[in-house]
Amino acid sequence: MTYPVHLALGPLVLPVHLLLEVLAYTIGYRFYQHLRARTTDQISDEHRLWIFVGCAAGALLGSRVLGLLEHPELLLHPPGGWLYYFTNKTIVGGLLGGLVGVELTKKHLGVRTSSGDLMVFPVILGMCIGRLGCHFSGLEDGTFGTATSLPWAIDFGDGVPRHPTNLYEIGWLLLLGAALWLAERRRPLPDGWRFRFFMIGYLVFRLLVEFIKPTPAPSGWGLTAIQWACVAGLGYYGWLFGRKEYRPTKVTE
């Protein structure tokens, strides 16, 4: 396979990454609609709509800000001009920013029940499809890993065998989703805890996998911006677990 992968339709050449990103949003949302139709949702349609708006706004802002902080040395002299400020994005920033947006929206609406539990499996599915697109984009996407001699290393086009970290992420997400599904078959989790465990599992993975990515930590930071965001997110969930007992009706993710 030659990276990046493109799909040729006659004279039209489309990047597979873009197509899979569109599919990720589309299929993920359709899966969410399917699950909601089969679930007794305690949140009204109107409140769900506003929660989606808050989530989208927070995710957009969070993904852009954290993406820019990955390379703070470029902020004053952005490569390619001002468009640079709108092209960088990261899933960790999107998830944490979306979390903040949802919680602020729910506080304003007075919604106390979980809104995130219903989104976990659609988000996992969408992220897997999106990361497959990242893999097919090769070096252009920047989600590849460092050089390695492991037998499953992949050459993304520069002659250097690398960790396929985007495939690692897909594997981890599938394991995380399967673990949550199996756990809930044995005993239903309290309200909001499915989302908690998803976020903790993903943040732990990203904290660790960033060590085998070529993005260096800014001087004096110790960790990359994404890793610090993961630490902050894990600290928040640690605070939640320490603050509240196992009381299903009190969790508000």
Interhelix angle 193-209/225-243, nearest 10 degrees: 150
* pLDDT at residue number 244: 57
**Which pLDDT tens digit goes with each residue over 184-230?**
999 989 989 999 999 999 999 999 999 999 988 887 788 999 999 99
> Any idea what DSSP says for residue 188?
P
Spatial distance between the Cα atoms of 16 and 78, rounded to a whole number of angstroms: 27
- Which tokens sit at 137? 């984009």
Helix H segments across the chain? 16-37, 45-69, 84-87, 91-109, 120-136, 165-186, 193-209, 225-243
Helices (H) and strands (E) in the chain, counts: 8, 4
Check whether 181 has a pLDDT greater than 50: yes
Q: Is the pTM value of this prediction over 0.85?
A: yes
**Which pLDDT tens digit goes with each residue over 86-116?**
777 899 999 999 999 999 999 999 998 888 9
